[in-house]
Each structure stands twice: as structure tokens, then as C-alpha cells.
Structure 1
Amino acid sequence: MSRLIDAAATMHALSLAAMEEASRFGVRDADIDHLLLALTIDPDTGGQILRSMGAGLNAARAAVTAQHAAQLDLVGIASDTDSTGRIVFHETSGYEWTERAIAVWKEASSGGRRGDSAAVLRALVDEPSGLIEAILRRLDLDPDALRTRLDDARRFGLSRRPTFTENTFSGTRAVFVPASVDDVWELLSSATRIPEWDHVVDEVDAPAAPTGPWEARTRTTARDGKPIPVKDPVRRQLVHLDRSEDRAFVTWRFTYPDSDNGVPRVVAFALEHAAGGMQLRVTLTWETVPRRRRALRRVRRALLGPILRLLVYIQLTQIESGITRVFR
């Protein structure tokens, strides 16, 4: 992807996670500490470096809470360290970035930086308020040592960006999940649990056969209560289990039996162990049917390719958000 699309894709993925973390605190202003929490579950270079230095999600959450409590104590306000709740971002609305968080995003994409997760993390460490440095020290993490690791990653080009196949309608993304292989497998291999991670599916009928197909209904109402316009031919789906290898691979295919033009959607997961949790390789494919006028089709794909790649990336990050939210 181009630098612009690369930065936009990173911003979308980290924004989802950061605003989900903000919603746990009951606030609508996503700040730099929430962005740091989002980076702890980032699958790319920024998240890998944080986790390798001991800054996992739970530890970072505790450090953020402790830092907030200490700041309130300085002005004589008692804090409630048990005030955080569950993630409600997907059920609410009205979230915005603070001005200093926006400044971090701008810094991460300036001066030759690509706007990837490593650049965002470096901009956070350098953020002048000192909040991030204070949180890092509570994690027993030296900010200067982190800067050195990030500079080395940039120098040697260690950033891993999402890759896409030649087919415009297929993309793959690495996802870090802070959970055990058994828990992740239980979520991803069960047809009835698909609505927990797939924002398109509202409900799947109880399985009557080991590999389906099972009937499902397309979501017509968002989790925040807003209606989703859905055409009648695609309100019903059939869910097929195409591949299942215990705790290693699982592939789901979604078709629209009532639609003549419905494009099948395939979501495949490959599971691998990783420090502090699991690493998933998620592949999303829209199975287009070859038609006539291929030359025109190739021209259209060449012109719309970057936009379509970004749309597939956004769909992948929505799946990522659904999966990680279950374990956060």
C-alpha cells in the first residue's frame, strides 16, 4: 500500500482499539493513554516491541489506572481504581480524539515517518506532556531504551504491513489476541459464536450438522441501536464450515441463497502461539465470478484498487476488533 493508505489503515485499526479502551473508563475523549493501550495489542512492529519489553495489555491497563489515581491524589481527589467497566464502544457513539492525540497522529506521519504503529509509538514516547513516559516507568520500561528499539526497527525496516493478493477483493492481516489457544479456538470454531466477532451476522441457528450449512440472519441493527439498511435478498445467509484443523486452521464461507448477485464471503483463520497470547492470520476473500469484458474490469480494478484494498483492510480490522473485544 502507499504511504497514505498505510497510515490510514493503521489509524483505523488503532482508533478502534483505543476508543474501545476509552469506553471502559466511561469517557468519550480518546487520549494518548488509550492509544498506548491500543498499541499493546497491535500485531505489527509497535505492539511486538512493547510486548517484548513486558508491556502487555493487562499490565499497561494497571499502569494507566495507577497514573490517573496518582494525578488525582495530587489535587486531593480520591480515585476509584475499580471504576473501569466493560467495552461499550460498539454500543455507543460520540467518540473523538483529544487535541494532543491528534498531534501524535500528525507527528507519526511527518518527517519521513510512515504513520505505521512503530511511528505512532515513537511519537507517543516523545509526546511533551510526560504522561506516556510516566506510564512507561510504572511498567519498569525505560523510555530511552524503547526509543532505541524503535529507531533500530525503523533503520532495518522491520515494520510488517498488511499484504494483499493480486485479487483486489482478498486481503490478509495479522492479529494479536491476548488469550490462550483453547479460548481462541472455542470462539472461532463455533458457528453459534460467529456473531461475536462478525459484525455482519446477527444470529446463527443452532447447528444440526457438524459442518453445516447453517442458516444465519444478516444484522439489520447496529449494536448502538442504529438501523443498518439491508436489501431483502441478502437478509438470509448460509454459513458453511469449509475447513477445520483442531487449534490450527478454520475457514468459514458465507453465501446468500436468495440473491442472484450475492458474492460469497470467505473468512479464514490460522492460529499460532505468540508471547502473551495468540497470533492469528486472518484472510478475507470476496469470491467474484469471472465475467465478460475482462479488459474493462482490469482497468476498473487498476483505478479503484487502492480504495478497495483499504475497504478490505477496514473489514479485516472490524473482524480483529470483534475477536479481541471478547478477551478484553
Structure 2
Amino acid sequence: MSRFIQAASTMHTVSLASMEEASRFGVRDADIDHLLLALSFDPDTGGQILRGMGVSLDTARAAVAAQHSTQLGLVGIASDADTSPGRIVFHETSGYVWTDRALAVWDAASSGGRRGDSAAVLRALLDEPSGLIAEILTRLDVDREALIIRVDEMQRLVLARESTTDRNELSGTHSIFVPAPIDDVWALLSSASRIPEWEPAVGSIDATAQTGPWEAEATTSAPDGRPIAVKDGFRRMRVELVESEGPTHVRWRFSYPDAARASARQIAFDLEHAAGGMQLRATLTWEFTLRRRSRRVLRPLFRPLLRFLVYIQLTQIASGVTRAFR
């Protein structure tokens, strides 16, 4: 993976998680403390290092909330109200921006020979001069210098990274860390009735039958209330459970019975235990419906766009899964 692609991928996934965490605190300015929260459940090296040092999403949230309360007290603002964060509302709201010091961290993470991956973001956070991260780490009983040594050691290693796509350009894979027990995540991903919680394209599903296939309705409004235009042939979906090997693997298939030429898609999840939660690998595969000659002509032309769309769909699904447990 090139340095540019690595930085772009990290910025997308960590940015989304950071702004979701900011929304829990009722703010629109995503800051360096929200970056730290996002890294605490990142599946890549930065998140693994933090969790290895005992930093979980819950403990990090508590430390950030306590730090906010202390800062308010220093300026004479006392609050007896519950300072714990609320639910994630980022997907229902707008107007989020980075603070200047958060932007400086992003810049430092992708300059001076750093790759822009999550470990580089964590290292840049540790160098951030305001002292906020150091104070939060103290609350977490984490030695900043020991953490710096751990990050530097990991960044000196040359790690072979798994490719996010296979030979079929209509298939992609995305790995995430979920801060929840594997059985709880399995309960979410293996139940037809809970598909709307993680699949943004599904607005509702009739899951009264014990076994499928089931009929689902497409999402027609965004979380913030904006209407979503859906063509008539794509309003109704057929949902099938293709494979289920609890609690480690499940595969779903979505097709459009009212649109004969529409491509079906499959979404597979592979689950495994990890420290502080579980690791989840999501794979999205589109079943191309064009004739063989058309595929040979069109695939090279549309390959970059298709890969980008698959990546965006996977990150939306991953966000839905993690949001259910955050």
C-alpha cells in the first residue's frame, strides 16, 4: 500500500470515528482528544498499541470526560450534571470541523518520513505540545514515555499489510476493531431483524419468518431526515442468509426482484476474539450482471470508481456495526 493511499485510508476511517466521538460530547469541533478516542478502537497498529497498554474505549472516554470537567473547573465553571457522553449523532447532524491543533497532528502524521497510518497519528498526538494528551494519559495511568517507545519500536518494523481487494475488482475487504464481546457482535450480525442497524441501504425488514428469504424495504430517508430518492425497481429487496457458522462467520445476499438487470451483492463477516473486544473483517462482493464481452470492455474503465464505491460502502457498514456498541 502506497504512503498516499495509507494516509488517505487512515484519515477517512479515523476522521469518521473522531467526529462521531465529538458528536457524543455535543460539540462540532473535532479535537485531539477525539482523535485519541478514535484510535482506542482502531483496528490498525495505533489502536493495538493503545489497547496493549490498557487503554480501552470506555476508559478513554471516562478520562476525556473527567479532563473536560477539570478544565471547566479551572475557569470557574462548575457543573453537577452528568458529564458522561451521550449517543452518537454525527450521522444525523452536520457542520463538523477540525480544530487547528488536530489539523497540525494530521499534518505531522504524514510528514517527516511518517506514513500517515494510525501509529503515525498516535505518535504525532504524543508530540502535540498543548499537554492535553499527556494529562489524559496520566488519568489513564499510562506512562507517556513508555508509550512513545512502544510506538517507535512498532514503526521500525516492516509489516506486510493485507490487501483490501481481491482479484475481482467488484469485491473488497475492510477490517475493524469492535469494542464488544464476540457473542454480542454475532447476535447483531447473524439476525435478519437487526440488518437495518448496520446496513444503511436497508430501511426495514420483515423478519417474522424463522428462515429466509426475507423481504426488505430500501432506506428512503437519511438519519437527518433528508429524503433519499430510490427508483421503483430498487425499493424492495430480497435478503438471503447464505452461510452461518456461529460465532465466527456469516454471509448475507441482497438482490432486487423488481429490477431484473440489477446486480446482487453479498456481505460476509468474519469474527475473531481480540484484546478488549473483537476483530471483524467485512467483505463486500457485487455479482456483476453484464455479458462477458461487456465485462472485458467496461471493467478496466470503471475499476477505480468501483473500488472506491466498494470501499465507501464497507466503511459505512463498519461504522454502523461499531456505532451499535459505542
Sort the TM-score into its range (normalised by shorter chain).
Answer: over 0.9
Whether the 8 Å CA contact 1:9–1:314 is kept in 2: the answer is: no
**Cross-structure match for 1:95:** 96
Structure 1's unaligned 5+ residue stretches are none
> CA 1:159/1:153 → structure 2, altered by over 3 Å: closer, same or farther?
farther
Whether the 8 Å CA contact 1:234–1:259 is kept in 2: the answer is: yes
**Cross-structure match for 2:283:** 283
> CA 1:83/1:281 → structure 2, altered by over 3 Å: closer, same or farther?
closer
> CA 1:2/1:158 → structure 2, altered by over 3 Å: closer, same or farther?
closer
Identity between Structure 1 and Structure 2 (%): 65
Query: Is 1:309 aligned with 2:307?
Result: yes
Residues 193-232 of structure 1: pairs in structure 2 closer than 5 A: 193-210=194-211, 212-232=212-232
For structure 1, which segment, 96-105 or 183-192, has the greater mean C-alpha deviation from structure 2 after superposition? 96-105
Residues 147-186 of structure 1: pairs in structure 2 closer than 5 A: 147-158=148-159, 160=161, 163-186=164-187
Whether the 8 Å CA contact 1:118–1:159 is kept in 2: the answer is: no
**Cross-structure match for 1:233:** 233
Provide TM-score, normalisation by structure 2.
0.94
Encode CA deviations 1:23-71: one digit per residue, 9 max, x unaligned.
1111111111111101111011110110010010000001111111111
Shift of 1:77: 1.3
Number of residue pairs matched?
A: 324
Structure 2's unaligned 5+ residue stretches are none
> CA 1:244/1:40 → structure 2, altered by over 3 Å: closer, same or farther?
same
**Cross-structure match for 1:59:** 59
Amino acid at match of 2:136: I
Within the candidate set 317, 320, 323, 1:319 is matched to 317
Shift of 1:83: 4.9
**Cross-structure match for 1:259:** 259
Provide TM-score, normalisation by structure 1.
0.94
SS at match of 2:272: strand
Whether the 8 Å CA contact 2:62–2:84 is kept in 1: the answer is: no
Shift of 1:246: 1.7
**Cross-structure match for 1:250:** 250
Encode CA deviations 1:119-166: one digit per residue, 9 max, x unaligned.
111111111111111111211111221111111111112474652101
Whether the 8 Å CA contact 2:193–2:207 is kept in 1: the answer is: yes
Amino acid at match of 2:116: G
- C-alpha separation in 2, matches of 1:112 and 1:315: 31
SS at match of 2:282: strand
Whether the 8 Å CA contact 2:69–2:83 is kept in 1: the answer is: no
RMSD of aligned Cα (Å): 1.7
- C-alpha separation in 2, matches of 1:16 and 1:285: 23
Whether the 8 Å CA contact 2:241–2:251 is kept in 1: the answer is: yes
Shift of 1:206: 2.1
Amino acid at match of 2:11: M
Whether the 8 Å CA contact 2:65–2:84 is kept in 1: the answer is: no
**Cross-structure match for 2:72:** 72
Shift of 1:318: 1.1
- C-alpha separation in 2, matches of 1:156 and 1:209: 49
**Cross-structure match for 1:139:** 140
**Cross-structure match for 1:107:** 108
